[in-house]
Amino acid sequence: MPFERRSRRTLLAAVHRASALGLFLCAAASSAGAQGQSRLWYELTVGGSGARLTCDYCAPARDVGAAAALAVGAYAGDRVRVGVELSRWTYRDQDVRERIKGVGVVAHLVPDPKRGLYLLGGAGWTAYRAGEFAYDAPRITVGLGWDIPAFGNWVVGNVVALDAASFGSLRNGGTTVVRDVGLSAVRASVQLRRR
Amino acid sequence: MSARRQAWKRSLLLAVWTAAACESEMIEPRFAPVTEIGNSIAYGLWSPSGTDTCSKALHDSYSVVGPDGLRYPTWHPAVDPTGCTFGHEHGRDPHGSRLYAEVGDIPFGYANQHLVESGFGNPRNEDHFGHKVEWENGMLMRAGNTGTATLEIRCDVLTKLHQGTHSPDAFTNNLHEVAYHIRCTDGTAFSATLLTPIGTPGELVANCDRERHVTVGPATPPNSPDGGGKRAVPDQSCVFSNINRTDGGEPRFDSALHESWEVSASLRAADGHWLAAFNPYYQVMDPSRYHAPGADRSMLRPIDLCYTDAARGKDRCAGLPATPITWDDERSPFKGVRRFVDVNGNFVGNADGPNVWYTDPLGGNGQTTPFPGSLRQWIAKRNNDGLGLHGGVMGNDRDYNARGVRAPN
């Protein structure tokens, strides 16, 4: 299907852009680390997420579905780490499998390095798929998390994040079905990070 | 002070004018009142017979003047408030539909009336009993292949099909009058009235084997066009296989007699492109006849099966008197009162407008100005491509049996 190819190309382009930006940030952070103590980190989060699709006649509410995210990045100092994140969400209702895929750059700001709290922000791209319907839009992410040292260089913790996408249209093939669609998802996850 | 008053007046006038404009947009589908000029062919067809206790005059009082100025019969209760009975019913009382305020009483026979005038060449007039109304408010619709998971669209649907299941008419005749009104929260909306060809003229499709087309005879009118969809009608072999079961099981009258008229209707512009399309399936569980080649008028009566060894006292025949009753007896369980409608797909392709189109009685040759024999249609200025809007079922939790109702119904 031409539409699927186009949609994949859009997502692929978004992945490339996000990766490039992430690599740039990582490189910048590593460069900073060459002068300081920064190094790479990677993280896996799993949990649940409730998503809302909003438009004039969208079915807004969904129960909590499984969510997971994988992030890799670098430290840009004691208080900041940046990286690239891939996220997934899925939920099944009425024999319909709904999926959200996200890709973006994230930054963790640690207000007090002696404490586990950090603030999370990011920007990227979201793709929603359900049956023959598709939605792609830019998104922002905000949230906060809490790190607890586990063992060695590993930390565990919790993170709550809100992904909010807007300025997209719901499409069926090449046809726009609804304009001005928003998609938000609240993720509550546990994380495992190598610092 | 005077200037201020003038400004207030102007503001008030503007507000009223704006409200009126909005109101006129909202009620545009409603036929404008016209002067009555006479009676339609469909008016006055019914007279009491058998056990019916209402008078013809009372029956004829349930009427409406159509957009052409002719008086048409319309929906009435099976039992008049005075207590007398008409012996037949027309389905669900349309006054409860949210669309009733907009579309009013449905004139029965409006499309039939104008067929000859449109140049079709032959008349197609249908009896009074077969006009059946069904409606539902706020139906939760499905979109695309995701059901209601992604989109939450609700529609009000009010429809009427002439679906006679007491005579052999539908064995051969595929032109049937349908009125279909739909208004949805996504903006999908149209009001269509037409004679729609359902399946192939001159033949029916066996209800237990949709691949088996049974040629019955010439259609009326003889130039009836082919239509999409089909008329799945019980035929003798289907009925017998469900009643005289080889596995020794109980007879299954609902399976034997289930009748489905699967409409594939559209309104089309003069250049052939479609403006609105819909494909509801109108279903009847208890017709009072089935197709039987070689029988008188090619049909037999299910009630007679209740007095065979295979079905006596079983399934739908339970509780019947031991002495055979006739097909038009009120006590018969086969009188066409158990019906439902699968709403199915609803498509609009009229983004460039206008709202009002005039088509021939078959729904074609749509133009923006009236022409001889044309019917007024209303279609929202919208394309709902990609939405795949389709609906659920109306009426499967009720039947329309009432005191006095009997076949023919």
- Rounded distance between C-alpha atoms, residue A44 and residue A33, angstroms: 23
- How far is residue B295 from each of residues B168, B305, B333, measured CA to CA in Å? 11, 15, 22
Q: Could you tell me which residues of chain A have a Cβ less than 8 Å from any Cβ in chain B? A: 53, 56-60, 93-96, 98, 130-133, 170-173, 175-178
Predicted pLDDT of residue A95: 86
Check if B148 contacts A (Cβ < 8 Å): yes
**Dihedral sign, Cα of residue B19, residue B20, residue B23, residue B28:** negative
B22 part of a folded domain: no
Q: Give yes or no for residue B161 having a pLDDT over 60.
A: yes
Q: Is A72 helix (H, G, I), strand (E, B) or coil?
A: strand
pLDDT, tens only, B268-304: 999 999 999 999 999 999 999 999 999 999 999 999 9
Q: Which domain holds residue B275?
A: 131-394
A170 with B150: Cβ contact below 8 A: yes
In a domain, residue B76? The reply is no
Instruction: Describe the strand order of the beta sheet including B154-162 as a list of residue ranges.
Output: B131-140, B154-162, B175-184, B189-197, B375-379, B356-359
Q: Least CA distance to B383: which residue of chain A?
A: A177
Give the residue carrying structure tokens 């309104």: B267
| A132 closest CB neighbour out of B145, B148, B152 | B145
Q: Give me the phi and psi of B115, to 5 degrees please.
A: -65, -50
CA atoms within 13 A on the CB side of B196: 30
- Tell me which amino acid residue B249 is: G
Confidence at residue B248, expressed as pLDDT on a 0 to 100 scale: 87
Pairwise CB contact (< 8 Å): B150 & A59: yes
Residue B191 lies in a domain: yes
Task: Identify which of B145, B148, B186 has the shortest CB distance to residue A59.
Answer: B148
Percentage of chain B lying above the pLDDT 90 cut:
90
What residue of A is the nearest CA neighbor of B185?
A57
Burial annotation B297-318 (CB, 10 A radius, 16+ → b, else e)? ebbbbbbebbeeeebeeebbbe
Please say whether the beta carbons of B68 and B110 come within 8 A.
yes
Q: Provide, as residue numbers in chain B, all residues whose Cβ is less than 8 Å from the Cβ of A132.
A: 144-146, 388
Per-residue pLDDT, A39 = 82
> Residue B336's closest CA among B327, B324, B349, B325?
B327
**Measured between alpha carbons, how far is B325 from B304 in angstroms, rounded to an integer?**
8
Residues B170-192 have pLDDT tens digits of 999 999 999 999 999 999 999 99
| pLDDT(A92) > 80 | yes
Number of domains in chain B: 1
Nearest to A173 among B153, B185, B386 (CB): B386
Contact A56 B186 (CB under 8 A): yes
Is residue B260 situated within a structural domain? Answer: yes
pLDDT digits (tens, 9 = 90+) for B304-317: 999 999 999 999 99
Q: What is the residue range of A36's domain? A: 2-194
**Which residues lie below 8 Å from residue B238, measured CB to CB, with a gap of 6+?**
B206, B207, B208, B209, B256, B290
Residue A2, min C-alpha distance to chain B (Å): 15
Does B172 map to a domain?
yes
Interface touch A53/B147, C-beta < 8 Å: no
- Asked whether the beta carbons of residue A132 and residue B144 sit closer than 8 angstroms, the reply is yes
| Chain mean pLDDT for chain B | 93
Among B219, B194, B215, residue whose Cα is nearest residue B203: B215
Q: Which residues of B267-290 are buried (b: 16+ CB within 10 A; e: fewer)?
A: bbbeeeebbbbbbbbbbbbbbbbb
B53 to B58, B61, B80, B304, B406: CA distances (angstroms):
10, 15, 10, 26, 13
pLDDT for position B308 = 96
Test A132 with B149 for CB contact under 8 angstroms: no
Do residues B267 and B192 lie in contact, with contact meaning Cβ atoms separated by under 8 Å? Answer: yes
What is the number of structural domains in chain A? 1
For the stretch B56-112, pLDDT in tens is 999 999 999 999 999 999 999 999 999 999 999 999 999 999 999 999 999 999 999
- Cα–Cα distance measured from residue A191 to residue B303, given in angstroms and rounded to the nearest whole number: 71
Provide the CA B391 distance to its chain's centre, in angstroms: 16
Q: Which chain A residues are closer than 8 Å to B151 by Cβ?
A: 57-59, 133, 170, 177-178
- Report the gap between the CA of B51 and the closest CA in chain A (Å): 50
Question: Smallest CA–CA separation between B91 and chain A, in Å?
Answer: 31
Average pLDDT of span A74-103: 94
From chain A, the residues in CB contact with B149 under 8 A are 59, 93-94, 96, 98, 130-131
